[in-house]
């Protein structure tokens, strides 16, 4: 049977995993890396292939 103690232990594991992922993101550059990349160009680059619509995404079969 799943008890409240088990639920709390699972929840703490989940919080620990989220914290570990956040620390890894933060120490590998975090928000500074994202801001440096998108500071001057916040938009997605358009496709350079402006021919037929199928040229961009490949031929439709």
Q: What is the pLDDT of residues 12-35, one digit of tens each?
A: 999 999 999 999 999 988 877 766
The pLDDT of residue 30 is: 83
The pLDDT of residue 3 is: 87
Average pLDDT, the chain: 77
- Give the residue, 37 or 13, on which the prediction is more confident: 13
The pLDDT of residue 11 is: 94
Q: How many CB atoms lie within 10 A of CB 30?
A: 13
Q: Alpha-carbon distance 48 to 51, whole Å?
A: 9
Q: Alpha-carbon distance 26 to 3, whole Å?
A: 35
Residue 8 has pLDDT above 60, yes or no: yes
In this prediction the pTM is: 0.52
């Amino acid at each position: 049977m799943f008890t409240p103690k088990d639920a709390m232990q699972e929840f703490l594991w989940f919080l620990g995993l989220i914290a570990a992922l956040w620390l890894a993101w933060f120490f590998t550059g975090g928000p500074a890396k994202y801001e440096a990349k998108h500071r001057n160009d916040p938009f997605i680059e358009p496709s350079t292939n402006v021919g037929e619509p199928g040229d961009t995404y490949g031929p439709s079969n």
